[in-house]
Amino acid sequence: MQYQAKRARSYYEKALSNLPKIDKYQQRAGIIMAEIYFTLLREIEKSNFQVLHQKISLTPLRKLWIAWKTARKLKRQG
């Protein structure tokens, strides 16, 4: 599973690096979702990939926090 997590992380990073800076603010919804999924991936890694034994998720409040923080960062950059 570590291989798959590393692969997913590299795709995420590659996609963000290929997105032109001028388009990032317009693509904020997708970038916010990517940040949420990337955070979830980190949580899965922290649990040592115990996805079959326990549910690993983010609380709605944490998702909201990630969305707000990401949107704010994109607005400052744009």
Number of domains comprising the chain: 1
Using the predicted structure, report yes or no on whether residue 24 has a pLDDT greater than 90.
no
Confidence of residue 78 (pLDDT cuts 50, 70, 90): low
Question: What's the pLDDT band for 36 if we cut at 50, 70, 90?
Answer: very high
Q: Which residue, 12, 2, 5, 11, is CA-closest to 36?
A: 12
Domain that holds residue 38: 2-77
Buried b (16+ CB within 10 A) or exposed e, 21-48: eeebeeebeebbebbbebebbeebeeee
Token pair of 4 as six digits: 């798959």
For 45-77, the pLDDT digits (tens) are 999 999 889 999 999 999 999 999 999 998 888
